[in-house]
Copies of this chain bind each other. A is one copy, B any other.
Amino acid sequence: MKDIVTKLHRAFNPRSVAVVGDKREMDYMWLRSLEHFQGKLYSVQIDEQELPGIEALGVKNYFSLLDIPDELDYVIVAVPREVAPKIIRDCIEKKVGGVMLFTSGFAETNTEEGIKLQQTITEMAKEADLNLIGPNCMGIFNPKIGLRHAAEQYYGDGGPVGFISQSGTYATFFSLMGAVHGIKVSKSVSYGNAVVLDSTDYLEYLAEDDDTKIIGMYIEGVKKGRQFFTLLREITRRKPVLIWKGGATEAGSRATASHTASLAESPLIWDALIKQCGAIKIESLDEMVDTVKALLYLKPTTGKRVGLAAMTGGQSVVITDTFAKAGLEVPLLTEKSYQEFATFFTIIGSSYRNPLDISSNLRSADNIMRCVDILDRDEMIDCVVLELSLGFLARIARFIPPFFDDLIEALARHRERSDKPFLTILFSGPTEDAAAETREKLLAKGIPSFPNFERGAKALNKVVDYYRFQRL
């Protein structure tokens, strides 16, 4: 087992957790988030007024970490900053597996007191070889064992995606938004100011983690740049790594300094290094979710030639513009395909050159699948994209009630049969809320959908670039 695995195993897979300083003012957010934790849970709180609230949650409280009659694998610290050194001292004495400081108010405040306190805890932890996560962060999420940092997060089954985030918000949002897009986390960590453990350590750990097949990162700055990129280049050969760099503009760097005390780094150098290392560059949370989804659900291809089928003429124009602008190709089909279309395809109000406008050919799921099949079999095409417009589908379904279920079943069979990636664009129009149900039905059959052309096109292009780079 690699050193880093030995080093971080207890913290990421704790059998016992203590929360220090949870309180009513925070709605006992830490203890509540650990409601389904499968190991032993302890509280440390010295304020007598908080004790009834903690007891009501069924958690035993102690007045000091040192009083807990058990080994502690992971400690969550939510005390005022001036108390942090005392808790760190206790953690060292207690030989905990890892300690995460939710506590903030350190170097990121750019105050003398904050900077000094950060130095103190950093030196203490480094000297004792203590696994300090943060400060100013949300720490570890390991759904399998119910180790969460927000009560809204899922627990039980984990997934194949590791997430490393300097921001607590994005660690939380990635898990929550990912869940509704068919993405589940294996393990994630929010690590804030990164005074002891940094992105490089977490990346190395998740690279060795068997449950983790894909790694997403939100980074504001790295402390050991050379080591990070050397490691990154090696890992991308085994697992896709997606990197979203916060502070990619001058003003944004000012914000990373105030947020996690990260130093400004040249966005150009970051872009170049991400590319050279074969990692995938990401620029927003939506892009992170979309691209991970494409990696998880699309069969791999190095080809950029897309066959596009839209449900109306206007959409056929715009899907084509959008995929072409994203870097993909929309070629003409083979003569064989055109001959096949000519045998059944209604061209009045529709067309099939590629893109397809199938508006006059929506009479049955079979008819739609015939179009998808021709695109799929065409040797000019590497990937097939089908627009599903909820409004039109609902209109058809009024006449042919089983239409939509038939279509999803047929798409599922298609997906199993074909070696080419297949994706859908689920266009909801004004009814955003109606999209969720259909998105879920599709995901249940392994079919990814994207909410608009641009997001689908960008995600597809990014994963094709990734597979191309890896096969060089």
* A residues whose Cβ falls under 8 Å from a Cβ of B: 27, 81, 104-105, 108-109, 111, 136, 152, 165-170, 173, 176-177, 179-180, 218, 220, 246-252, 254-256, 258-260, 283-286, 312-318, 320-325, 329-332, 347-349, 351, 353-355, 357, 391, 395, 398-399, 429-430, 432-433, 435-436, 452-454
Contacts and interface: CB of A to CB of B under 8 A. Distances in A.
- In the complex, the count of this chain's copies comes to 2
B347 A252 contact: no
A395 B26 CA distance: 10
15 contacts: A105-B347, A108-B313, A109-B351, A136-B349, A167-B317, A169-B313, A176-B391, A180-B430, A246-B314, A252-B317, A255-B317, A255-B320, A259-B357, A285-B318, A433-B436
B351 A284 contact: no
B399 A348 contact: no
A260 B454 contact: no
B432 A433 contact: yes
A290 to B, nearest CB: 13
B330 A251 contact: yes
Contacts of A331: 251
Contacts of A324: 249-252
A369 to B, nearest CB: 21
Contacts of A351: 108-109, 255, 258-259
Contact of A348 (B104, B355, B452): B104
Contact of A454 (B166, B218, B284): B284
A156 to B, nearest CB: 17
Contacts of A218: 314
Q: A136, A166, A284, A317 — which one has the most chain B CB atoms within 10 A of its CB?
A: A317
Contact of A325 (B105, B108, B167, B249): B249
A270 B403 CA distance: 42
Given A325-B248, A391-B152, A432-B433, A313 B349 contact: no
A316 B166 CA distance: 13
